[in-house]
Chains A and B, each alone.
Chain A
Amino acid sequence: MKPASFEYHAPGTVDEAVSLLAEFAEQGGRVIAGGQSLVPMMAFRLARPSHLIDINRIAGLDRLSVEAGTLRIGATVRHADIEAASHGGTLGRLLSEVAGSVAHPPIRNRGTFCGSLTHADPSAEWCLVTATLDASIVARSTRGPRTVPASDFFLGVMTTSLAADELVTECRIPLLADDARHGFYEISRRAGDFAMAAALVAYRLSNGRITDARFGLGGVETRPRRLPSAEAMLAGAKPGAQSFRAAAEAAAAAIDPMEDSHTTSDFRRQLARAVTSRALERSLT
């Protein structure tokens, strides 16, 4: 399983990188950051980029910082960096917890947050997180920068709204309130496997009732998204068995589940119900 041949480029700046993309994207040139998703596809020769543009040497892309109420995650920030990070407040803690579910430690040591977004596997944890928390993705090309809200970024299985010659330089996630609650739950066949279903919820309490609810499901449809009908079951309700059950039922009903030979849509819906309940339960602690 040796990859097909390619030319290798290791630009030192974003400008160089996007120039290379402008030149080679049409012929199949691609960006490589962590490579943890791309290289296996190349090994199977499902991906055959003629040119690889390695962005690991570009200074500044590995920045993980809080600025003006957002957490900024640069293109070469690794999953492990996020797992280990101690800033970002509530959001940072949420991300650190979710990072522990991304594949396995050696993958996390190389794989990048932004790379996961551009790969757009419907079951990827960061795709769910960014879609649920209204993150934005900043991309650059020779035409200049562009900011895309997460809700517009993921179009379908392995498909984003990025142009072939665009480079994601960072992702920005609005910080959560200090008193924000959150819950995350994912189901996979074995620990570290891709999620068959995953749920993320975040909300605040005002007089004991849920406000600012955000709820999203991943792994069950061709792309992760917020589910307004589930959020509606939570808004203004007391967190507990009743509202949680209603949200779980709403979530299961709202989705257009992916089916394959191993997974019927019934099963997927049942999993959606389960992860929703459990993510909500976790938000209580």
Chain B
Amino acid sequence: MTTYAKPVFQKGTTKVLGHPVTRLEDLPLVTGRGRFAADINFPRQLHMRIVRSGQAHGRIIDVRADNARAMPGVVAVWTHADIATLPPIDFRDPAAEALKPYRQLLLARDHVRYVGEPVAAVFAESAALAEDAAELVALDLEELPATLDASAPPGEFGPGISTEALVLRQEYGDVDAAFRAAHCIVEADLSVGRHSGMPMECRGALGRYDAAYDIVELWGAAKVPHRNRDALARFLGRPTASVQLHEGHVGGGFGIRGELYPEDFLVCVASLRLGRPVKWIEDRFEHMMAANHSRQQRHLARVALDAEGHILGLADEFILDQGAYVRTHGARVADLTLSTLPGPYRVPAYRGVGHCRLTNKTPAATYRSPGRYESTYVRERLLDIVAAKLGLDRIELRRRNLIASNEMPYARPLTMNGHPVLLDSGDYAALLAAALDAFGWDAMQAQLRQRRAAGELVGSGIGFFLEKSGQGPSDNALVSVDAQGYVEVVTGGASVGQGFETAMAQICAETLGVDYRRVRVVHGQTDRIRFGIGAHASRATVMTGGAVHVAAAEVRRKALALAAELLQAPADQLDIIDGVVARRDAPEGASITLGELARQYAPGQDAAGHGTPGLYSEGWFHSEHLTFPYGAHLAVVQIDGQTGKVTVERYFVINDVGRAVNPKMIDGQITGGVAQGVGGALYEEFCYDKMGQPLSATLADYLVPTLHEVPDVEVMITEDTPSPFNPLGIKGVGEAGCSGAGAAIASAIDDAIGVPGAVTALPVTPQRMLVLLRLAGKPGQAAL
């Protein structure tokens, strides 16, 4: 285990690390020159349109496609029979054998299990034609009752196969003894509603078979291109090198884009069989019933405390509404929920049991801060409730239970995606204090008390979160300098809009000593680099950033080694500033540019003795450890007592990120995450009727917050406790904005109505809020 006390690079004076520099990604995007999947076109391409089940559950009697096939402009219509030899979609990582029966086929064979499930694929000369033809495909079904309540006793998925796919369990310590010894026990039945990422760009994929070189290409890849490339190659039975994935611009991912879905496989297979490129662009109506859902969990959670308010034990049993199939993530969300529930607190005994249950809804998987949005909400709710029961201030109760900084690194006997949980670094108490101070918490309490005395329904809430990021085990990067001094960084990373290129360029620039704007970053092209981890679970800055740093440091070393010789000065007396190598004490004196050095490193030139030709290096960064960023959300809400509308008046997030590469990008990530978190707490929900028909079928029903619903988020970034597990001390930040939002808003609503634990279900729609008000004995109270 290697730990890093501080960064190992020499700071070049092209200082960009930690600076809010503008992004390299932006120019094409603000001028309409981006290339998203729908913007890509190939000569002679066909358009694919998926025919989807209109029923939630049924046995397929027949899929009649003859009328569709007969339409002019239609080249083919496939049902399962046409692709019967193709296997179901496998899991991204090795998953429990028990989950295999729940995998989804590309096109339904015997049963349909959710509205939106693909049953046929139409290939036609235009998207409109394909849609016309799709309407002519008739699905004959024997309708079956729809299972919509995951809390109901499990039923039958298939002969001998239960709708309870898996029960996960993690525990340590003696939970039963803890509860027996408790001075105070609180139990709560808490749920989070079904919602998901809802990126502004729907999914899209283009498959093209390049017969000239026997290469299958998938365009419109995202998130984990190399992993997907490997899966596709296996699926198609082709050499890995004969399958290439290309990521263009991506309109947001949030966890739900980038997994392999039926459509991705279908465009590849179709391009091979039909001999023409195949383009598939999802529309929003489809997206809402076909792209991964998330978050729907119901928890029965209990916490036991001693008389001084110390947690003795935590027990939780939850049901995760998995939807109709288990997709590429296997049981990951349940595992993350279980392993993150204790959070930043000292929990001597813990038992978590998670039930993955199948229902006749769109399948669910990961969505930004998966498992943590839910577990943070549950845990923080319990703490609010038990604080009130003990007569302790909510903040004080948390203070008493936060793990102390001198206990770091803190080992917790749980595993997360198979990794032992080892909290790397953190000073939670200091962060809490800083948050309250910066927010003006005490003054706010006084203000709110006054406003409540005047009749307003206003309150404040807190959600302390512990995120996880930086999962390894390894990543690599290639850094090279060309003859003009431009730098190219090739990574196996991916961009969903989060600023990946800029972050890598900043790290490279700072390490090497160049202007970050002279650095080009390649990502998402599996043919440019052999291995890659993509970008997800907030790991890119840590892992790929680490690899970029290692590679850039080696390029720097090679440059200085040669420069030392050419400038007749010891390498340690040289510095690189804006791509120019010169003596530190004589920057205006003799110098040589990186471009010139690169020319000297070309094959055949006189750089003998300095290693392989080329001023470039491949860097690897390995880490066995996760990093754990942490922070808190503080919210103030106002409730309209007559209509139940909840307005978020103020929102503050503090996040310790270890080391900030670009504070403005971090602020953006957090603010965007809060918008989604607020959405899940108050607005967004996938609802179904009794027959399993989706009621949230358009963006008019599924309420993505607009500018009016999202408060002006105040963001405070701290770098108190860099991670000891990577050279730059970085912890990932992609998910923090979401993580504590459900908890903080629920907490604030409770406070506004004076009933700790009032909020038990998200989202708190106006109708549900009025019910809570009635229960709290505050009906009809007017908002001013």
Contact = CB atoms under 8 A, between A and B. Distances in A.
Task: Indicate whether A and B are direct neighbours in the complex (CB within 8 Å).
Answer: yes
Interface of A: 1-2, 4-5, 44-45, 187, 189-194, 261-264, 267, 270-271, 273-274, 277
A261 B703 contact: no
Interface stretch (B81-89, B516-524, B733-741, B762-770): B762-770
B643 A271 contact: yes
A267 B770 contact: yes
Nearest to A189: B703
Given A4-B132, A262-B765, A263-B767, A187 B645 contact: yes
Given A190-B706, A191-B708, A261-B695, A2 B643 contact: no
Given A190-B705, A194-B700, A274-B642, A1 B135 contact: no
Nearest to A275: B643
A17 B507 CA distance: 65
B128 interface: yes
B285 interface: yes
B689 A261 contact: yes
Pick from A191, A192, A267 the residue with the most CB of B within 10 Å. A267
A264 B683 CA distance: 17
Contact of A270 (B642, B698, B703): B642
Interface residues on B, range: 20 to 34
A262 B767 contact: yes
Given A1-B283, A190-B709, A267-B767, A274 B135 contact: no
A187 B132 CA distance: 39
A194 B699 CA distance: 12
Contacts of A2: 127-128, 131
B700 A193 contact: yes
Interface of chain A, main secondary structure: loop
A44 B645 contact: no
Nearest to B705: A190
Interface of B: 127-128, 131-132, 135, 283-285, 642-645, 683, 687, 689, 695, 698, 700, 703, 705-706, 708-709, 765-767, 770
B770 A189 contact: no
Given A1-B283, A262-B687, A190 B767 contact: no
B771 to A, nearest CB: 9
Contacts of A273: 642
A262 B684 CA distance: 13
A191 B708 CA distance: 7
Given A1-B283, A187-B643, A191-B706, 15 more contacts: A1-B285, A44-B698, A45-B135, A189-B683, A190-B706, A190-B708, A192-B706, A193-B700, A261-B687, A261-B689, A262-B695, A264-B767, A267-B644, A270-B643, A274-B643
B433 to A, nearest CB: 36
A66 B60 CA distance: 63
B685 to A, nearest CB: 9
Contacts of A190: 683, 703, 705-706, 708-709
A189 B643 CA distance: 10
A5 B132 CA distance: 9
Given A187-B643, A193-B700, A261-B695, A270 B706 contact: no
B642 A277 contact: yes
7 contacts: A2-B127, A44-B698, A189-B703, A190-B708, A192-B706, A270-B770, A274-B643
A73 B767 CA distance: 37
A267 B779 CA distance: 12
A131 to B, nearest CB: 23
A253 B485 CA distance: 78
Contacts of A194: 700
A267 B774 CA distance: 12
Contacts of A191: 706, 708
A4 B132 CA distance: 7
Contacts of A192: 706
Nearest to A268: B767
A263 B768 CA distance: 10
A43 to B, nearest CB: 8
A270 B780 CA distance: 9
Nearest to A248: B642
B634 to A, nearest CB: 24
